[in-house]
Chains A and B, each alone.
Chain A
Amino acid sequence: MLLEEVEYVRPTNLEDALAVLADVDGAAPLAGGQSLVNVLKNRVASVDLLVDISRLAELRTIKRTPGGGLDVGACVTYDELDRSPLVRESHFTLGEVAAHIEDQQIRNKGTIGGNCCLSDPTNNLPPILVALDAVMNLRSTSARRSVQAAEFFKGYFATALESGELLVSVTVPPMPARSGAGYASLLVAADAKAMARAAAWIQLGTGGLTITSARVALARVANVPVRDAGVEARLVGAEASDAAVRDACSVAAEGLRPIDDVHGSSHYRLEMARVMAHRAVMQAVDQATAGRNGSESARRGGRA
């Protein structure tokens, strides 16, 4: 598949990039290019001007926020997330998810911003960012605004971004003591597409036995990650035990109708959503119990 002729610019700073995007009709940001270029080659979309933002220094940093959270530039690559001590120290699971997105070549190029702005339901990062309650920071030539991750993903290839707007960074809140994150996917094969996926964040009470707060995001049951209020409500106040969590997760994805395809029926996927929710929450419990970085087993269990 071949690219149609397309113009290309590489602005040297963010202001210029925003200006070009605002001025030129048919301009689109190019980050890692791992989806956009393929889409263009397949000729399912067309762009007149590619605005390469992948090397903008302003978008490539990972910073610690005052409370212990993270501020990740939109053009930070998966490989950088994976290898960042800062990320691993406070948000182990986020690094682990990035470490298992497809293959090394894609991890070298693909960016957190691109992964989110594409809003492909099979992409790995959106559900974990929703579970971690991340905030997406957007900018245009004239304005800045922030949107909760759960509000950012609007549909299949659709986000809250308006024309001329860029995602500049993602702010991930700190992980308080006795909180933990988990992520479970049912993959077609190693590091491949997911058929079912869940990301979870939970907070344990001071005794460490009860879940006091929970966020569970399911992917692949709809076109965007879905916060499962039913499961979350059942988790809050529940004992952090396998049986109680399994019970809470048994209602996951209620009322949703995942797609049918060659990898599995809608019914199978629904059942798998429950299995993944259970596994993700248990991982989160394990991490919360073991401390900030999670136990060895939580790490190894953290298959992306």
Chain B
Amino acid sequence: MTITKGPGTEQAIRTWSGRSIPRKEDARLVKGQGSFVDDGGVQGQGFAWFVRSPHAHARIVSIDCAPALEMEGVYAVLTGEEARQQCETPFFAIAPPPGSLMAEWPLAVGKVRYQGDAVAVVLAESRETARDAAERVFVEYEPLPAVVDTVAAADPTTPLLYDDAGTNVVWRGVFDYGDVDWALENADHVVKIDRLHFHRFTSAPLECNGAVVDYDLGTGVVNVMSNYQMPMFASMVIGPTIGVPINKFNFVTKDIGGAFGIKIGFFAQIAALALLSKKAGRAVKWTEYRTEHMLTAGHGNERTFLDIEVPVMSDGTILGVKVRAFDDAGAYLHYEPLGAVIWSQVVPGCYKLKHVRVDYTEVVTNKCPTVPNRGYSRMQHLWMIERIIDIVAKELRLDPVDVRKTNYVQPEDYPYRTPNDCVYDSGDLPRSLDIALELAHAEEWRARQRELGTGSGRRIGIGIGSTLDSGTNNFGQSRIINPDLPFSGNGEAAIVKLDLFGEVNVNIGTTPQGQGHETTAAQVTADILGIAPDMVTVSTGFNQANNSYVGFSGTYASQFAVSGLGAVMGAAEKLRHQIVKLAAYALRAAEEEIDVSDGFARVRGDENRAIPFIGLANMVYANNAGLPAELLSEVDLNARYVYVPPFEVPDPVTKTGNLTLTYASQVHVCVVEVDEETGEVTLLEYAAVDDCGRRINPMIVEGQVHGATGLGIAAALYESLDYDASGQLQQPSFYEYHAATALDIPHVDCGSIESASPFTPNGAKGMGEGGGAPLHAVCSAIQDAVGGDGPVVADSHNHWARVHELLHRDPTASRGVAVTSREGPPRVAQS
């Protein structure tokens, strides 16, 4: 990795995009000068503490707040029922019935549905008092049987979480593309896998959730300073419930210590805090604690795949897949059932699968609500596809590299239309795989693996994970879930402004959490305005008062490089245009003659005719007498631009359409050593090749790759969230949940290729989520180590005991897979 020196030393360079300039935000962050939500506060604020249920499922018999209210320093207690009385309607439901009947209010009403469900919230003069008081809110519960098994939850005989809905099934849909029955009938082999399970985990952001909410009773404005990552979504969901119009919300974010999608989940807390603030007549500050976070902030989707059937031709061509998928939304629908369609952005994975049928069921259970977690919903599906590829290779004695190369979408196929009409924009998967194999020295390890043979007690496994990071959503896909939803397309807003003394300032609607938006936004702005990134100030975070937002604003779903920077570039172009216009007037030249560079507008070829930015700004802001009205009507040096990606509305009936604009790809290869006696897995080598189109700042891209790799490895080997039969979370703190540290993560060799996207303003693609490649690669490597006759690696989480079981399973027990082959000579695949 090369880091370019600061701009001061390289004034001559005109193009800042594409270079690994150091991140503008790092100086303050490494010096402890960042400003996070818990650093903030408001005069007179109280501190909030939620009273949470110890039960997974119980009826609330009574709540006695009096002992808490008697304590000195306690301002107010808000209960679920009281909050509901203040609300006009439950939170906005994405699902149609029956999902829409699974009503959620700011606090639990009538019953609690998971361990940690909030039944009341206390406000007091200090955190300590609030917590002490919360222990004196006495809640009587009548426990109900807990529903924890995802597949069983759908069974009509299972107890219900929501009596009104009459079922635990939130949403069910069959996604049927091509003709999978034909494919199964005509394939040379059908590989059947009983069950694959993608486990629950979290990205465990370093900073937990938090908010300072101030309901201004005078103006009706609700100020929300928080680390919530998708502010307009929260306003849309909670506004109608608590009776606050969008223009009376003032959402602000500052530095955010990681979010990963998890921080889309806490809108319910924000709503409760707003009502509490209203009741108490003072601002409330809430800082979530780790155990509270682990129990309630949101987990990633857990998905079970059953009865997987894969039609395969003798040459290794995989025709498609048929599967039943059960997704577990947990107790409340915090973004779900959007996940039930979002996976279909990547129906065939990286492959040319033509015939796919997924019978998808999403259920509620008595577990923490799931929320979008880095790689959201696609990762689960892509993991299944990668498992299928390896299992097919293993069962048919084919080389997993060959099977991938045979079935990959080929470089010449782009733009590639998937069976459900998504368009893969660009890429070169075979080359990415070659680079990754080389970086990981796969061939040498293959030889070592053979040498090692049996008897050493150690086994080597080589694994591949090829994955997609689909970015820039078409929100029209929500209509495949619910045709009545008024959403489609996407967008982001930015304002680029020349300020009074000629300063360049950028405001965006995004909520960066480590992705370096200040740096890349400065790079693209600098290129357009002919200045250095140092001369561009990018405001930190989101501020509703800046007016640089649209309904989809925020930072999520791998889209900043496209939508965020698209908006910034559009606004910078607009501003440049104004600068040219104004300079042409000031310098008495034609617009075509004006160059903009180094903070000046100049007449080309005439050194003496130039005006600095400060001079231009002065003309508009403070010295405008006599300027032509026409000029002033066009030039205000305050350019707002909304980038809107080119999308059509998908078809909810056929469940087809272009659901995302870009497809970054990642191919990871890892080498593991497995200890036969214990099942311990050690990563010996790890390579990650990323193709996210044109990289604005390669160093930042690499940082994202490292982060996503660490996260995926951790999930594959160390991090899992499990509930016991009574619905108690087994890993509610870092004692039990081993969040991976630097010691657990090997050196990652990064490679990259740049297949520019033809669909985006800058050739870039979103890439921050990473598509879960390490989960695929690690499982693949463990499978390789387990060997040809062993059982299938059927779980995405493989702690040592599980690997031990794979290695030492009773040979007569089911391996979880079967192959049926057709009689007669092999046929050639029909394309």
Let me know if A192 and B800 touch, CB within 8 A. Answer: no
Interface residues of B in 651-683 (CB under 8 A from A): 677-678, 680
Q: How far is the CA of A272 from the CA of B799 in the complex (A)?
A: 14
Report chain B residues within 8 Å CB of A262. 720, 722, 730-731, 736, 799
Q: Is A195 an interface residue (CB 8 A)?
A: yes
B469 to chain A, nearest CB (A): 26
A263 at the interface (CB under 8 A from B): yes
Contacts of B633 in A (CB 8 A): none
Query: What is the bound-complex CA distance between A1 and B132, given in angstroms?
Result: 11
| A7 on interface, CB distance cutoff 8 Å | no
Check B678–A275 contact: CB distance below 8 A: yes
Interface string of A182-194 (1 = CB under 8 A from B): 0000101111110
A-side contacts of B289, CB under 8 Å: 1
0 or 1 for each of B115-139: is its CB under 8 Å from A? (1 = yes): 0000000000001100110000000
Closest CB-CB distance, B192 to chain A, in whole Å?
Answer: 28
Other-chain contact of B744, A186, A189, A261, A272 (Cβ < 8 Å):
A189
CB contacts (< 8 Å) of A193 on chain B: these are 735, 738
Interchain nearest-CB distance for A115 vs B (Å): 15
Which residues of chain A are within 8 angstroms of B735 by Cβ–Cβ distance? Answer: 193
Kindly state the separation between the CA atoms of A103 and B738 in the bound complex, as whole angstroms: 13
Among candidates A2, A186, A192, residue contacting B738 with C-beta atoms closer than 8 Å? A192
Q: Does B162 contact A (CB under 8 A)?
A: no
Q: Is A291 an interface residue (CB 8 A)?
A: no
Which residues does chain A contribute within 8 Å of B718, judged by CB atoms?
A: 188-189
B740 and A189 form a contact (CB under 8 A): yes
- The listed residue (A2, A268, A275) touching B801 by CB distance below 8 A is A268
List the A residue with the shortest CB-CB distance to B290. A1
Bitwise interface map of A from 260 to 273 toward B, beta carbon under 8 Å scored 1, else 0: 01111100100110
Report if B157 contacts A (CB, 8 A): no
Q: Say if the beta carbon of A25 comes within 8 Å of chain B.
A: no
Interface residues of B in 678-711 (CB under 8 A from A): 678, 680
Known A-B contacts A195-B800, A264-B801, A275-B678; the reply to A190 vs B744 at CB < 8 A is yes
Residues 1-13 of A, flagged 1 when their CB comes within 8 A of B and 0 if not, give: 1111100000000
Contacts of B290 in A (CB 8 A): 1
Encode B30-55 as 1/0 by CB contact (under 8 A) with A.
Answer: 00000000000000000000000000
Is B678 in contact with A272, judged by CB distance below 8 angstroms?
A: yes
Q: Within 8 Å of chain A (Cβ to Cβ): is B741? A: yes
Residue of A nearest to B682 (CB): A190
Assess whether B743 is interfacial by the CB under 8 Å rule.
yes
Query: What's the count of A-B pairs with C-beta under 8 Å?
Result: 55
- Contact status A190-B743, CB under 8 Å: yes
- Asked if B623 CB lies within 8 Å of chain A CBs, one says no
Q: How far is the CB of B726 from chain A (nearest CB, A)?
A: 14
What interface size band does chain B fall in?
A: 20 to 34
Given contacts A2-B131, A263-B799, A268-B804, contact A103 B741 (CB under 8 A): yes
Closest-by-CB residue of B relative to A274 is B677
Within 8 A of A (CB), among B711-758: 717-718, 720, 722, 730-731, 735-736, 738, 740-741, 743-744
Query: Once the chains are docked, how many angstroms separate the CA of A275 from the CA of B807?
Result: 15
Instruction: Answer yes or no: B291 CB below 8 A from chain A CBs.
Output: yes
Chain B residues lying within 8 Å of A275, measured Cβ to Cβ, are 677-678
Contacts of B722 in A (CB 8 A): 262
Q: Beyond A186-B800, A262-B722, A262-B736, is A1–B291 a contact (Cβ under 8 Å)?
A: yes
Distance (Å) between the CB of B741 and the closest chain A CB? 7
Check B128 against A264 for contact (C-beta < 8 Å).
no
Known: A263-B801, A264-B799, A265-B801. A186 touches B680 (CB 8 A): yes
What is the bound-complex CA distance between A261 and B731, given in angstroms?
10
Closest A-chain residue to B126, C-beta based?
A2
With known contacts A2-B128, A4-B132, A103-B741, A264–B800 Cβ distance under 8 A = yes
Beta-carbon contacts of B280-324 to A below 8 Å, as 1s and 0s?
000000000111000000000000000000000000000000000
A160-177 CB contact bits vs B (8 Å, 1 = yes)?
Answer: 000000000000000000
CB-defined contacts of B717 to chain A, threshold 8 Å:
189
Q: In the bound complex, do residue A191 and residue B730 qualify as a contact, i.e. CB atoms below 8 Å apart? A: no
Complex Cα spacing A175 to B720, Å: 42
* CB of A262, distance to nearest CB on chain B (Å): 5
Q: Whole-angstrom distance between the alpha carbons of A84 and B128 in the complex?
A: 41
List B contacts of A3 (CB < 8 A): 128
Known A2-B131, A190-B744, A268-B804; further 16 A-B contacts with Cβ < 8 A: A1-B289, A4-B132, A186-B680, A186-B800, A188-B718, A188-B738, A189-B717, A189-B740, A189-B743, A195-B801, A262-B736, A263-B800, A263-B801, A268-B801, A271-B804, A275-B677
Across the A-B interface, give the 4 residue pairs with the lowest CB-CB distance, nearest first.
Answer: A264-B801, A190-B743, A268-B801, A189-B738
Listed in ascending order, the chain B residues whose CB lies under 8 Å from chain A are 127-128, 131-132, 289-291, 677-678, 680, 717-718, 720, 722, 730-731, 735-736, 738, 740-741, 743-744, 799-801, 804-805
Instruction: Report 9 cross-chain contacts, Cβ distance below 8 Å, ordered by A residue.
Output: A4-B132, A5-B128, A186-B800, A188-B738, A191-B741, A191-B743, A193-B735, A262-B730, A262-B799
